[in-house]
Structure 1
Amino acid sequence: MNTQNLPAPGSSAADPMDRFYAVIPAGGVGTRLWPLSRAAAPKFLHDLTGSGSTLIRATYDRLEPISGSRVLLVTGDAHREAVCRQLPEVADENLVLETEPKDSGAAIGLAAAILFLRDPDTIMGSFAADQVISPVEKFQDAVREAIYTAATGKIVTIGIKPTHPSTGFGYIRTGEPLVVAGAPSAHSVVKFVEKPSREVAETYLASGEYNWNAGMFVAPVELMLRHLKANEPELYEGLMEIALAWDTPERVAVKKRVWPTLPKIAIDYAVAEPAADAGDVAVIPADFSWDDVGDFAAIARLSSAKEVKDVKVIGEGARVFTEDSTGIVVSDTKRVIALIGIQDVVVVDTPDALLVTTRAHSQLVKNAVAGLKEQGDTDVL
């Protein structure tokens, strides 16, 4: 196919804030939150913290003061109805539906390609739909700094100040401070590092040089695509073919033909890590509270839901009795749940599946999903 060549990077006279477009990738099933989170109703469609707002709605609401209506959302075909019901503000041309999961490289890359063809001076910011962040004001300040830094020709990540030696997150090694008007916190990035062992994580924490990688990227779309083209040319070509048809009557046909052929790769490997090696990545270290709600222990920690004695209870109309027990109950039924003399328990009750585990074992819930899939019990997944 013949795709247009990307122009050399230039500068726009416009205020960088006016060039900003928020991208919300809403993918993944959240298997460690089964049976609450499933393929047809992934975790971002749920209110997991008792705040009264689903994760995807909360993501949109904290970005809207910065982006206004300039929001592009990437999600699966199967979630269109639920997403449109929760976010009626998103215009049809800004709703990107994946025919099948292809990882973040394709999702974020297609968003960049669509926005580039509409306006090559756009600065995009990608923020996952399934994160819990507070206070919102600190997050918004960090995003504004990231936008001003991106306008200088950088791919910018927002690093989270680590509060403990986590082995579940990747890390960003922070380099020298950068001089950027409007972004006093900006630093260069030395490199991204994979999820470490406990011992290595402790050294990261002690050094003060590392931040958690929350997967938030703010960048000129031209720069994102330039690195994508250099590192993953096959993916780049396919995404540009879809993007060229996006605002035409050929959108559906071209997407249906090309999307299944795209390689699967995370945006970190396709763009962020090689860009860091090239000196094109900056970081805004931030100290707001951040969690990707990866398991039921996280829900117990984050939830503002009511407590029945020492048990957190999530679910409208949940009927729970406790005696000498601690933990969390998530109920999607009217069934009475009685806990007696059991500590740190996790109970998730849905009409067709029941999970009973402990907070300490909550990361292993994904093993149940894999086992059920092998047994052929896919109707509950």
Structure 2
Amino acid sequence: MTAENPDPRIVSDFLDDLITVIPAGGVGSRLWPLSQPHRPKFLLDLLGTGATLIQDTVARVSPLSERVMIVTGERHADAVGAQVPAVPAANLVTEPSPRDSMAAIALAAALIEQRWGTAVMASFAADHLIPDGEAFRATVREAARVARDGKVVVIGIEPTEPSTAFGYIEMGDPLSGEAREVAAFTEKPDAETAAGMLARGGYAWNAGMFVMRTDVLLGHLDRLQPTLAAGVREIAAAWDGPERADVVARVWSTLTKIAIDHAIAEPVAAEGGVAVVPGSFEWHDVGDFDSLAELSGAAGGTVAIGRDLPVATVAARGPLVVGGTKPVVVVGVDDAVVVESDEAILVTVRSAAQRVKDAAAALADT
């Protein structure tokens, strides 16, 4: 079975006009030292399940669409290809350098049109955890239905708490089915603002999941970011031919470095062109060791991931210990986090998990 030659038992589940794009970028700096520039978060089996985050993502989307395309950095291409061999090599699109999410998604859209014509494109990050694949796919099918009519569709996640770690979507007037207009997007709020949003209702987390027709996306980009639009079209036209390397070397670095939220979602929402389909499925960003500990059940006792040696506690509760080649004892520290990789050892507590992003720089300064 491959992503373009699927198991015939699940062909009937495909959306014939849907192509899935998986942007696989970002290091995951809050998961240092597990996640490194040469070993980013999406290549890791964070929960010790035997599957990495990108493997889970491909498995989750494969029943939706016959074609799956992954956009990742050149340095990670071999590792991605080895982890998800069902995705054809031709559908592994490599970036010479990071240019943020808009360039990656726009290049995928331009390549889709170049190869297969206009299609509905669904973009999902490679490093999210969604345990209920069926509920996720049902939501994507509803989003694709709305996208066929020309809307840019974002899937909104039902909030479970007033989190300050995510952006928010303010849902407006009802459209057809489950879809609603997007009234506004809000960047990551402070705790008071987030609590107020949940109290008022009508808000969803923005998980960066977009579904739209390729011609709609590129049409908006032509208006709003014409240099970027022209650049990805030029690269896509050369991608499958002998001029690819020269064109990429000349054009890629000139593309505007901007996120899809700022380039498309926010301005198009202000014009009434963005819809949200609420998703009630369980979703996790696994953005730091606090969230990893919560997912692993550390609040109920000791959790050890990626290690066979013992972990003991003395007057301490809920430690998370990841990796390592020696026994570990945590004394007098609640919610401790101890992480060992080949490169370094991290010792922190869950309440300081967001500050881990500065750990690599602190080590470099010593």
| TM value normalised by structure 1 | 0.89
Distance 2:34 2:88 in 1: 29
1:312 matches 2:312: no
Taking structure 1 as reference, are residues 72 and 328 closer, same or farther at Cα in structure 2, changes over 3 Å only? Answer: farther
Alignment of 1:105 with 2:102, yes or no, is yes
Tell me how far apart the structure 2 counterparts of residues 332 and 250 of structure 1 sit (CA, whole Å). 45
Within 5 Å, give how 1:273-284 maps onto structure 2.
273-284=266-277
Give the equivalent residue in structure 1 for 2:292: 299
Distance 2:173 2:42 in 1: 36
Correspondence for 1:178 = 175
Structure 1 stretches lacking a partner, 5+ long = 1-14
Gaps of 5+ in 2: 1-12
**8 Å contact 2:70–2:93 — kept in the other structure?**
yes
Equivalent of residue 96 in structure 1, options 86, 93, 96: 93
- The 1:272–1:354 alpha-carbon spacing in structure 2 relative to 1, beyond 3 Å, is same
Offset from partner CA, 1:10-29 (integer Å, 9 cap, x none): xxxxx992110000001000
* Alignment partner, residue 249 of structure 1: 242
Provide the residue aligned with 1:259 in structure 2. Answer: 252
- Name the structure 2 match of 1:329: 320
Residues 305-356 of structure 1, C-alpha deviations (whole Å, 9 max, x = no match): xx79821100143442333322343433322222223211011112331100
How many angstroms apart in 2 are the aligned matches of 1:94 and 1:329? 37
SS of residue paired to 2:234: helix
| 2:14–2:65 CA contact under 8 A, matched in 1 | no
* Corresponding residue for residue 356 of structure 2: 365
The separation in 2 between residues aligned to 1:237 and 1:308, in whole angstroms, is 51
- Aligned-partner Cα distance in 2 for 1:252–1:328: 49
User: Secondary structure of the residue that 2:212 maps to in structure 1?
Assistant: strand
For residues 243 and 17 of structure 2, what CA distance do their matches in structure 1 show? Answer: 27
Distance 2:266 2:247 in 1: 30
Matched, 1:226 2:226: no
Query: 2:165 is matched with which residue?
Result: 168
For 1:330 and 1:129, the matched residues in 2 are separated by: 24
Aligned residue pair count:
354
Over the aligned positions, Cα root-mean-square deviation in angstroms equals 1.9
Q: Is the 8 A contact 1:318 1:331 kept in 2?
A: no
Aligned-residue offset at 1:282 = 0.7
Aligned to 1:57: 55
Find the partner of 1:205 among 198, 213, 217: 198
Number of the residue aligned with 1:24: 22
Counterpart residue identity of residue 161, structure 2: H
Which has the larger displacement, 332-341 or 168-177?
332-341
C-alpha separation between the residues in 1 aligned to 2:299 and 2:214?
49
CA change 1:318–1:263 in 2 (3 A) is farther
1:351 pairs with 2:348: no
Instruction: Return the alpha-carbon distance in structure 1 between the equivalents of residues 214 and 321 of structure 2.
Output: 41
| Larger deviation, residues 110-119 vs 209-218 | 110-119
> Identity of paired residues, percent?
50
* Counterpart contact for 1:160–1:288, Cα < 8 Å: yes
Secondary structure of 1:67's partner? coil
Q: In structure 1, how many angstroms separate the alpha carbons of the residues matched to 2:333 and 2:14?
A: 55
> 2:331 maps to which residue?
340
- Specify the SS of the correspondent of 2:196: helix
Match of 1:150 in 2: 147
Q: Which residue of structure 2 aligns with residue 271 of structure 1?
A: 264
Question: Over residues 206-263 of structure 1, what are the superposed CA-to-partner deviations in whole Å (9 max), with x where a residue is unaligned?
Answer: 1211100000000000011111121111111111111111121222222122212222
Deviation, 1:36, is 0.5
- After TM superposition, give the deviation of residue 86 of structure 1 in Å: 0.6
CA distance in 2, matches of 1:286, 1:271: 21
CA distance in structure 1 between the partners assigned to 2:73 and 2:57 by the alignment = 17
Select 1:86's aligned residue among 83, 86, 108: 83
Separation of aligned partners in 2, 1:319 and 1:81 = 35
Q: Which one-letter code corresponds to 2:244 in the other structure?
A: R
Instruction: Using structure 2 for the length normalisation, give the TM-score.
Output: 0.92
Deviations, residues 101-152 of structure 1 (Å, cap 9, x unaligned) = 1110111111111112223321000000010113111111100001111011
1:215 aligns with 2:208: yes
**1:228, 1:271 within 8 Å by CA — same for their partners in 2?**
yes
Task: Assess if the C-alpha contact under 8 Å between 2:324 and 2:339 holds in 1.
Answer: no
Which of the numbers 85, 96, 118 marks the counterpart of 2:115?
118
Query: What secondary structure sits across from 1:327 in the alignment?
Result: coil
| C-alpha displacement of 1:71 | 0.4
Letter in 1 for 2:198: L
- The amino acid across from 1:342 in the alignment is V
Structure 2 partner of 1:235: 228
Q: Secondary structure at the match of 1:130?
A: coil
Amino acid corresponding to residue 217 of structure 1 in structure 2 = F
Deviations 1:34-76 (Å, cap 9, x if unpaired)? 00000000111111123221100001111011113x0000111
Q: Which secondary structure state, in structure 2, belongs to the residue aligned with residue 372 of structure 1?
A: helix
Cα deviation for residue 90 of structure 1 reads 1.4
Amino acid at match of 1:297: D
